[in-house]
Structure 1
Amino acid sequence: MAGKKAMSILPNLPPLPTMKEVMSVQKISALKRLSQNFLMDLNLTNKIVRHAKFVKGAHVCEVGPGPGGITRSILNKQPASFYVIEKDKRFLPGLELLSEASNGKMKIFLGDILRFDMSKLFPDDLKHDWLDIPPMIHIIGNLPFSVATPLIIQWLQEIQEHKGAWSYGRSRLTLTFQLEVAQRMVAEPESLMRSRLSIMCQYLCHVNHVFTIPGKAFTPAPDVDVGVVTFVPRKEPLIGQPFKLVEKVVRCMFQHRQKLIKWGFEMLVPFDRPDLVDRFFKLSGIGEDSRPMELTIDEFKSICCIYEELCNEIPGLFEYDARSREVSEAKKQWRTAKRDGEDVFLGT
């Protein structure tokens, strides 16, 4: 009976035990420390893969397959080749069943995706010029909440630098995030959801929140709903500065996201150089009553260009960290000296 059920759900694969049966036999349950929430509903996993598009005949990498729900949906789309990267070795027996049923298309890698290099994963003949159409490569994953944000930041850097999976060209992504994170990624200027992720994602990619999955659809059910987000890298980034410079500027600007942008400017320059804060306002043309979530990508581009000019002009400015212990101690000394009426100018 179980075989017939599996066959009816997965018409393109041989009869297989269901995901619940595999997990029951292997005595697998979700690990809270790995932020595991499994999607067992094949109607929803099929929907994720449909929104991914261009999966049939493509070369696909799935991140964190777990018990294999999305894995089965991808296999049913008949990719040319299929790679899965899983950290939890408990899932290997179930994934090996799917690999055996895939006629050699599916390969399993056991490892941490945050440390996995995808630059050699796909065939070399898939490489496209960056300005050409995207290659037939797709990265899909139901990401654990604990790694989702650091992983997408890492991948965004690889996108800008054309490394990893993006050494092949503008490879597409379809990923899951906590709903609030997904909403931040696509938030427009003046939205209360506008954040660091909004700028970092949008300046490098065309980003779409394609649909929402209720938390109750997962096992175990998280306290939040989940957003499915697609990314297609832009031909040209909307901010033409190095990734680390953009990331630092955006991080500092959103450090006090509800406050005036002066707070963000002050995070970028030494505390005893208010003249540099005035320079940001003068050169950018941004009003002093503006807040970070109100700024457009073009305005962030202007801020990044000004900051680059200042870094070229002032040695050591890029390394300046307003939150470091050394700066905190220097700030205390500066305030004490100012209070005592001393004339101080520490520079950088």
Structure 2
Amino acid sequence: MAAFRLPPLPTIREIIKLFNLRAQKQLSQNFLLDLRLTDKIVRQAGSLKDTHVCEVGPGPGGITRSILDADVAQLLLVEKDSRFIPGLKMLSDAAPGKVHIVQGDILTYKVEGAFPKHLQKKWEDDPPNVHIIGNLPFSVSTPLIIRWLENVSRRDGPFVYGRTQMTLTFQKEVAERLTASTGSKQRSRLSIMAQYLCTVQNCFTIPGRAFVPKPEVDVSVVHFTPLVQPKIQQPFNLVEKVVRNVFQFRRKYCFRGVEILFPEAERLEKTEQMLMMADVEPTLRPNQLSILHFKNLCDAYRKMCDEDPRLFTYNYREELRQKKMRRGRQL
């Protein structure tokens, strides 16, 4: 059978005029009108022939057209903004039986029930014929990828099908953090959380001038493939706590961030114990720590929490808040 191709349709620019669509700044919306660029984004996902794709925030449908032209079996569109639905229905009518439109928030939508169960693969197998693609609004990109990384760690949500691949856009700066190597200035909490669970590739950068309206930053396309075995085999919330605390003082030595994992009364003793168990030099900066360093830190912290469960519930910020309240009452 010949590959599916969309019939002639109004251009994206014409769709925007036809439905009087304007990007809303408060939703950090930016439209990509150049179909050569949307084709290039979609190619980063690999061959999509006969696959099932969830597109996040399709907007006026530029990337949507490129996905459909890649001859997918099924395309799920999750769009929060009702203004875009009529234009997306036009695309749905042009590809009978291929498109399902959901008006909803991707942060709450249950992708795990969207596609047939027969697509599910064992985690150890090759990735399933399920992909997530999206030109994400800047305001939602970081919380959404953290949410999906937690899903990867639990193998639920979009990852009930197996090691579902993701091809997503981010602000260039965020993309650089996601893919930053040990020692680089961009190395951050996001680097560790993404790279311990996935192979993360910064594919290419799109200049801001390609978007309407033009954002103040450039945009990068990032591809994620979940790893068969995470590089840190501890619960997501434990890893996130250790990494977040270490990077709390990113310009200081790493022992400063490790310290705030522990109550003040035993801070020095516990910090020395954890760093010794993890074989981590206390005067390394957070960005100098490798994934292996963080694995050792998380393993050591887990052992200490198993021996003393109250440690995991300790919250440095809450301790500071209570101190301030006590001082206020004394005044």
Superposition TM-score, scaled by structure 2 size: 0.95
The question of whether the paired residues in 2 share the 8 Å contact of 1:252 and 1:267 is answered with yes
What letter matches 1:212 in structure 2? T
| Aligned positions of 1:30-45 closer than 5 A | 30-45=23-38
Residue 264 (str. 1) matches residue 250 (str. 2): no
How far residue 281 of structure 1 moved from its aligned partner, in angstroms, is 2.1
Map of 2:317 onto structure 1 = 323
How far residue 164 of structure 1 moved from its aligned partner, in angstroms, is 1.1
1:241 corresponds, among 234, 237, 247, to 234
The question of whether the paired residues in 1 share the 8 Å contact of 2:278 and 2:299 is answered with no
Map of 1:337 onto structure 2 = none
Gaps of 5+ in 2: none
1:130 corresponds, among 123, 135, 144, to 123
- What are the superposed Cα offsets for residues 264-304 of structure 1, whole Å, 9 maximum, x if unpaired? 11121112211001112221221121011000101100000
- What are the superposed Cα offsets for residues 97-133 of structure 1, whole Å, 9 maximum, x if unpaired? 0000012101100000001111111110000000011
1:275 corresponds, among 229, 249, 269, to 269
Map of 2:20 onto structure 1 = 27
The question of whether the paired residues in 1 share the 8 Å contact of 2:275 and 2:297 is answered with no
- What are the superposed Cα offsets for residues 37-76 of structure 1, whole Å, 9 maximum, x if unpaired? 1111101000001111121111111000000000000010
Q: Secondary structure at the match of 1:255?
A: helix
The question of whether the paired residues in 2 share the 8 Å contact of 1:60 and 1:139 is answered with yes
The question of whether the paired residues in 2 share the 8 Å contact of 1:271 and 1:331 is answered with no
Residue 253 (str. 1) matches residue 235 (str. 2): no
Q: Distance in 2 between matches of 1:98 and 1:170?
A: 29
Map of 2:165 onto structure 1 = 172
1:21/1:332 CA distance change after superposition, 3 Å: closer
Map of 1:116 onto structure 2 = 109
1:90/1:331 CA distance change after superposition, 3 Å: closer
Q: Secondary structure at the match of 2:174?
A: helix
1:45/1:166 CA distance change after superposition, 3 Å: same
Identity %: 51
| Aligned positions of 1:214-225 closer than 5 A | 214-225=207-218
What letter matches 1:120 in structure 2? G
The question of whether the paired residues in 2 share the 8 Å contact of 1:54 and 1:136 is answered with no
Q: Secondary structure at the match of 2:228?
A: coil
Residue 298 (str. 1) matches residue 292 (str. 2): yes
Over 2 Å off, 4+ runs: 326-334
Q: Distance in 1 between matches of 2:256 and 2:321?
A: 16
Gaps of 5+ in 1: 1-10, 335-348
Q: Distance in 2 between matches of 1:172 and 1:207?
A: 10
How far residue 23 of structure 1 moved from its aligned partner, in angstroms, is 1.2
Q: Secondary structure at the match of 2:314?
A: coil
| Aligned positions of 1:52-201 closer than 5 A | 52-201=45-194
The question of whether the paired residues in 2 share the 8 Å contact of 1:189 and 1:294 is answered with yes
Map of 1:286 onto structure 2 = 280
Q: Distance in 2 between matches of 1:102 and 1:134?
A: 26
Q: Distance in 2 between matches of 1:122 and 1:301?
A: 34
- What are the superposed Cα offsets for residues 71-97 of structure 1, whole Å, 9 maximum, x if unpaired? 000010110111010000000110000
The question of whether the paired residues in 2 share the 8 Å contact of 1:213 and 1:225 is answered with yes
Q: Secondary structure at the match of 1:207?
A: strand
Q: Report the structure number with the largest CA radius of gyration.
A: 1
Q: Distance in 2 between matches of 1:208 and 1:162?
A: 21
Q: Distance in 2 between matches of 1:327 and 1:319?
A: 15
The question of whether the paired residues in 1 share the 8 Å contact of 2:198 and 2:225 is answered with yes
Superposition TM-score, scaled by structure 1 size: 0.90
How far residue 22 of structure 1 moved from its aligned partner, in angstroms, is 1.4
Q: Distance in 2 between matches of 1:21 and 1:104?
A: 24
Across the two proteins, how many residue pairs are aligned to each other? 323
Q: Distance in 2 between matches of 1:327 and 1:169?
A: 42
Map of 2:11 onto structure 1 = 18
Please give the root-mean-square deviation of Cα atoms over the aligned residues, in Å: 1.4
What letter matches 1:93 in structure 2? P
How far residue 165 of structure 1 moved from its aligned partner, in angstroms, is 1.2
What letter matches 1:276 in structure 2? K
Residue 213 (str. 1) matches residue 206 (str. 2): yes
The question of whether the paired residues in 2 share the 8 Å contact of 1:38 and 1:219 is answered with yes
Q: Secondary structure at the match of 2:125?
A: coil
How far residue 239 of structure 1 moved from its aligned partner, in angstroms, is 0.1
How far residue 333 of structure 1 moved from its aligned partner, in angstroms, is 7.1
